[in-house]
Structure 1
Amino acid sequence: MERNLAFIALFAALIAALGLIPKFTLAFGVPITAQTMGVMLCGTVLGARRGALAVLLFLALVALGLPLLAGGRGGLGVFATPSVGFLLGWPVAAFVTGLIVERWNGPLALVASVASVIGGIAALYVFGIIGLAVMLDKTLVESALLVTAFIPGDVIKAVFAGLITSGLARSRPASLLSRG
């Protein structure tokens, strides 16, 4: 029990720490932050349930006003912005990612990368697109077109999440709770 709580808190802190990394702008002008990779890692390392709980803890801290989101944002106001769908989708993304890693046996780097694409991109984008459509008063198609520019960066993060998870499994196998 204490070990689970420690890992959940640690991964909430990891998401916060990844928000401190300055954004990286792709060649065609699209900025990427590292925080969504933290959400992916919550699922690939902690598994579905614990990963989602880590993200929920992080979001609760943000809601309380801690400036933990990329760019130093926090407070209830961030849940009234066009990115609200992505924030609400983070726990689902971590859960889906973790569920895939828990259930699909295979080479861990590949499984974790594919799980990150399915959970951390596809499932997350469903929430993000709906949030954009509601907050910007756009159609779902218009909102989907807005997020397509972020796909290359998110795929890069998914591959990194797979490689990090695989490296962690090799160096500290007991810390990979998603396969335990």
Structure 2
Amino acid sequence: RDLLLGATPPVGISDWRLVSAGLVAGVVVFACYGRFRAVAARRPRRAGMLTSLVTVLDAVGLSVFAVAGVVKALQFGSPWLAAIVVGGVTAIGGGVIRDLLAGEIPEVLQRELYAVPAVAGAALVVGLDALGRLNAWTTWLCVLLIFVTRMTAVALDLHMPTRTSRSQR
């Protein structure tokens, strides 16, 4: 995100606290991976709970990063469309990297309702900013709205429509 906006050096690698948080998270996951696999093999229900927890945390990240990306783009004077794109890319980028490192097809490339809540929320932030109504409360409201939309899509198994092939018509 910072490179897209011309903010150098990128805050993600220039702030020691963010670098430390990433390193600690990586070490914890690496150290606990074997235990998670063993628990998943013995107790599939707990594995399902862990998967649900990851889904919730992913939705939190999606919503926070969408709003943070669009707000930073607006602070840098980006036009409204560029700000929405930066918010969307910031939101889905982490999930794409996570899925690729896990050897899975990224959720955004599947039928999941994943990018739409992030981009719609980013557009809402831009709209509120244009109306002069963007403040701490409305910013957090946008985060909550994106989160609730994503979790509703997961809970109700809502998906994006796909193109049907001629044989399916």
TM range (shorter): 0.3 to 0.5
Q: Which has the higher contact order (CA 8 A, sep 6+)?
A: 1
Question: Which structure: larger Rg?
Answer: 2
